[in-house]
Structure 1
Amino acid sequence: MRGPAWPITVLLVGYPVWWALGFGGLSVILLAAPMAMVLWRRRPIRVPRGFGLWLLLIAGYLVSGLMLAEMPPDTYGDFGPGRLIGYLMRLALYVAILIMVLYLGNLTESELPQLRLVRLLGVLFVTTVAGGLLGVFFPSFAFTSPVELLLPDWAAGNSFVQNLIHPTSAQTQKVLGFSLPRPEAPFEWANAWGSNVSVLLVWFVIGWWVHGTPRQKALVAATLALAAIPIVYSLNRGLWIGLGLALVYLVVRLGGRTRVALCGAAAVAALVFALSPLASLFAQRLDKPHSNDIRAFTVSATVAAAAHSPIIGYGNTRNAMGNHRTITTGRTQWCEGCGHPPLGSDGQLWLLIITQGFTGAALYVAFFVGAIRRHWGDRSPIGLAGVLVMGLVLLYMFVYDGLVTPLSLYLISFALLWRNHLGDVS
């Protein structure tokens, strides 16, 4: 907590407190202020290669605000406070994350050692597992946060804002033909929990297993065994695919005894899992891909709407006319499943396409592809892990929204890669 690195410690270790207060993923906006002060004192500021793409992404988002009042065909909704709040919150997050990356890259190794930053992410992984277990065993746990009490009704009642400021342990959805809780604590959505737990797992293993003592390795093994419970109960196919591809990546890129040991450990873990009660739930979820039709509808509607403003998008999401079952524009007594899904709600790629057009989506993809290309040759544990996370970002953009918390973790991982390169250069 001493020295200029305290804001990142407060962000990662103190995240459960931020969540309980109602700030959660928005805490990075508050902590961007002291981070900016550190940067101001350290001018000139170092900037990573490829960061111009992120600046262009933010500039494009500013321009897309000109389209907030416009409505693409086959969508509806009024230009009101909710749309403006969502736009401003996303803009604030983009800027805060930019500041955070520059802040991390301009701290010296003595001020913030790489291993300490990795282990801070590992601490947040333990918090995430604890939140996941809370969602599995106490799915109705929720409370009104101080931020929620202080906000006016018109702001707190906005669905996007409500998810950010109202702490809940699980998100109940009808997935296997009946309602089931999917863990989300301490994050804003069940899908955000799935994305975050996989990214944090990577750094947890690097920090506390690869660089750990025998006792720490035993604790890692126990924590990963516990993590399997909420990971399976999350019913999150994107998360499962991501973990499977991460294993394939490591088998391909690691060599010698490490590869053999990894394959052996994976085989033992798979056998134990197959003999456990979790295997049945896993099989049921794979057998009932209930969300495929919903995703297909929203993705096609998103692309169709964005085609009317392909360069700068519409600044924020819009509501689609009808859904995958009906042309009805809202839920009714006789059609509880009609609803109107927000466009761009099924992945960061689709969100960027509707909010910033195809240009914004291309900039986002280019930023992370460039990071992989530049750091592919870094075969250190942090280098291998960072490139893996960049690959997961490109996978998850098809199924998970990056905002709010996932994008912060993606860019902290990017900062770790950058800092590793700076260490090599020095």
Structure 2
Amino acid sequence: MRSLRTEGRWRRAPRWGDISVWQGSATTPDLPRWPLTAMFVLFPIWWLLGPGEAMWIALAAVMLLLLLRHGEIRAPRGLGIWLLFLLWMGCSVIGIDSGGRLLGFVYRALLYVTVTVVFLYVYNARATLTARYVLGVLTVFWLIVVAGGYLGVFWPLFSIDTPLGMVLPSSLSSNDLIREMVVRRVTQYSPDAWAPIDPRPSAPFLYTNGWGNAYSALSPMVVAYLVMVRRERRFWWLLPLIPLSFVPAFLTLNRGMFLGLALALAYVLLRSVLSGNVRAIAALAGLSLVAAGAWAALPVADRLDHRVEVSSSTEDRADLYVEAFTRTLEQPVFGYGAPRPSETPGAPSVGTQGQFWMVMFSHGFPGAALFMGWLAWAFFRSVRERDPAGLACNTVILVTLVESLYYGIMTTGLMVAMLAAAVALRPTEDAEPAPLKSQPSRVRQI
């Protein structure tokens, strides 16, 4: 992957240490912002209609067409690790043994391709999708996630039948994943369970763990965006929303989210101490005090204790991890292609309780090594970033690495991590462009 294609011939990429995987002969305008904006800012519409994150597949297809028209596609050299994972993942289809699992395999494969296209799009749209703009879009998405959390807090039993459910044939709507998509709920709650647990916010995602994963991945981006707009009016209305977001976040009782947030806080604090950034240290200390106050004021500790007492989720996960490893030993190269029912009656399917374990079980040990290897490479390659946006992106990749061990990060968590990598891995020569005098700043910035 040391060359590029130009009018049917291959030649070496010119500079920056990245590679060019495609170059056409035509020069076209800069890549537009609207596909990325539509993915995240319009997400409530996709959620209400039914497709939700599946709508990102269609928008990624638009991005791919725009990239091909753009004339050149650049990528960092380490992306080859991820491309090898995609190839290995595709080969693991040989382990599929049923039509239902094939449907799930194709859907997950499309999501993997989607995050790849989005990475390349943002990486190449340096003039239009600046770091500030990308973080601004993700901040809007964070606000949507927080609003969905509050919806679950105040109206935990709210649900809606989506238009998607009205048009899908029964042969498709009978699939477990699709059935959960066509009826939108705002909490993960079962009043008929043998050991009822208080409703846990999940909107605009299917599961509470998805909400927690998204919140912990997006929060560092929001803090970095606050730093970037600290001299603007929007800073003052966005700042109080951070402590307000603790209410739905803490009431999810997501232990994995708490771990991810604590890791992000500790990592940024360590980086701030090493760089001697007194302001950042003071701000992080203040944020920790506010979080501690919210924890004390909300009934989090009691609910969390109750959940631990009546739920055996920790032991169940540990058993599933052991089963995933031992069964992968039987098909270590390409795995099973998709999760399979557990050998323990009543337990969740093997490969559904953590992205790493799903990749290992579905695509074998080499697939898991390539998947985690890409995230590890992106983290170490971006660790030198010191500006607010770069540090936030580096932190998000670290959090994703850890949370992939116990969260299914498809699709939002992985998407945010790929966006973080795209921004952080851009060449250092990519400075924020100066405002165009012919364009008002309210149009070009978020």
Q: Which TM class, normalised by the smaller chain length?
A: 0.7 to 0.9
Listed as ranges, the matches of 1:408-419 within 5 Å are 408-419=415-426
Match of 2:199 in 1: 181
Deviation at 1:267, TM superposition (A): 4.6
User: Relative contact order (alpha carbons < 8 A, sep ≥ 6): 1 or 2 greater?
Assistant: 1
Question: For 2:194 and 2:75, how far apart are their aligned partners in 1?
Answer: 47
Cα separation, partners in 2 of 1:226 and 1:306, compared to 1, 3 Å: same
1:85 aligns with 2:71: no
Match of 1:265 in 2: 286
Letter in 1 for 2:399: L
Match of 2:61 in 1: 33
Name whichever of 85-94 and 165-174 sits farther off.
165-174
Match of 2:209 among 180, 184, 191: 191
Match of 1:159 among 155, 171, 176: 176
1:304 aligns with 2:326: yes
TM-score w.r.t. structure 1 length? 0.88
Contact 1:344–1:352 (8 Å) recurs in 2: yes
Cα separation, partners in 2 of 1:44 and 1:274, compared to 1, 3 Å: closer
The unaligned stretches of length 5 or more in structure 1 are 70-78, 323-328, 330-338
Cα separation, partners in 2 of 1:3 and 1:96, compared to 1, 3 Å: closer
Match of 1:200 among 214, 218, 231: 218
Contact 1:16–1:186 (8 Å) recurs in 2: yes
Deviation at 1:422, TM superposition (A): 5.3
Cα separation, partners in 2 of 1:164 and 1:408, compared to 1, 3 Å: farther
Match of 2:312 in 1: 290
Cα separation, partners in 2 of 1:281 and 1:381, compared to 1, 3 Å: same
Summarize deviations over 1:339-388 as a string: whole Å, max 9, x none.
24111111000000111011111001110111111111111111111110
1:112 aligns with 2:129: yes
Question: For 1:379 and 1:371, how far apart are their aligned partners in 2?
Answer: 15
1:129 aligns with 2:146: yes
Deviation at 1:425, TM superposition (A): 12
Q: Cα RMSD (Å) of the superposition?
A: 2.3
Cα separation, partners in 2 of 1:398 and 1:284, compared to 1, 3 Å: same
Letter in 1 for 2:60: A
Contact 1:198–1:243 (8 Å) recurs in 2: yes
Contact 1:122–1:204 (8 Å) recurs in 2: yes
Structure 2 residue matching 1:45: 3-state secondary structure: strand
Cα separation, partners in 2 of 1:218 and 1:44, compared to 1, 3 Å: closer
Contact 1:24–1:165 (8 Å) recurs in 2: no
Match of 1:317 among 329, 339, 354: 339
Contact 1:145–1:165 (8 Å) recurs in 2: yes
Summarize deviations over 1:164-222 as a string: whole Å, max 9, x none.
34321011158995322111111122111100011111111111344233643332332
Question: For 2:107 and 2:245, how far apart are their aligned partners in 1?
Answer: 31
Cα separation, partners in 2 of 1:391 and 1:384, compared to 1, 3 Å: same
The unaligned stretches of length 5 or more in structure 2 are 1-29, 434-446
Cα separation, partners in 2 of 1:263 and 1:10, compared to 1, 3 Å: closer
Letter in 1 for 2:144: T
Cα separation, partners in 2 of 1:108 and 1:383, compared to 1, 3 Å: closer
Contact 2:335–2:360 (8 Å) recurs in 1: yes
Question: For 2:376 and 2:103, how far apart are their aligned partners in 1?
Answer: 31
Contact 1:122–1:208 (8 Å) recurs in 2: no
Match of 1:334 in 2: none
Letter in 1 for 2:289: V
Question: For 2:432 and 2:33, how far apart are their aligned partners in 1?
Answer: 22
Deviation at 1:305, TM superposition (A): 1.3
Deviation at 1:272, TM superposition (A): 2.1
1:370 aligns with 2:405: no
Match of 2:188 in 1: 171
Question: For 1:317 and 1:95, how far apart are their aligned partners in 2?
Answer: 19
Cα separation, partners in 2 of 1:344 and 1:17, compared to 1, 3 Å: same
Letter in 1 for 2:325: V
Cα separation, partners in 2 of 1:4 and 1:270, compared to 1, 3 Å: closer
Question: For 1:19 and 1:118, how far apart are their aligned partners in 2?
Answer: 21
Contact 1:209–1:220 (8 Å) recurs in 2: no
Listed as ranges, the matches of 1:227-238 within 5 Å are 227-238=245-256
Letter in 1 for 2:237: L
Match of 2:350 in 1: 343
Name whichever of 373-382 and 263-272 sits farther off.
263-272
4+ aligned runs moved over 6 Å, structure 1 = none
Letter in 1 for 2:92: S
Question: For 2:44 and 2:170, how far apart are their aligned partners in 1?
Answer: 25
Contact 2:105–2:337 (8 Å) recurs in 1: yes
Q: Matched residues, percent identical?
A: 30
Name whichever of 370-379 and 415-424 sits farther off.
415-424
Contact 2:92–2:336 (8 Å) recurs in 1: yes
Match of 1:332 in 2: none
Question: For 1:186 and 1:98, how far apart are their aligned partners in 2?
Answer: 23
1:46 aligns with 2:64: no
Contact 2:354–2:404 (8 Å) recurs in 1: yes
Contact 2:31–2:66 (8 Å) recurs in 1: no
Cα separation, partners in 2 of 1:259 and 1:7, compared to 1, 3 Å: closer
Contact 2:81–2:370 (8 Å) recurs in 1: yes
Cα separation, partners in 2 of 1:310 and 1:5, compared to 1, 3 Å: same
How many residues are paired up?
399
Letter in 1 for 2:389: I
Match of 1:16 in 2: 44
Structure 2 residue matching 1:20: 3-state secondary structure: helix
Question: For 1:404 and 1:261, how far apart are their aligned partners in 2?
Answer: 34
Contact 2:40–2:140 (8 Å) recurs in 1: yes
Deviation at 1:394, TM superposition (A): 1.1
Match of 1:147 in 2: 164
TM-score w.r.t. structure 2 length? 0.84
Listed as ranges, the matches of 1:394-413 within 5 Å are 394-413=401-420
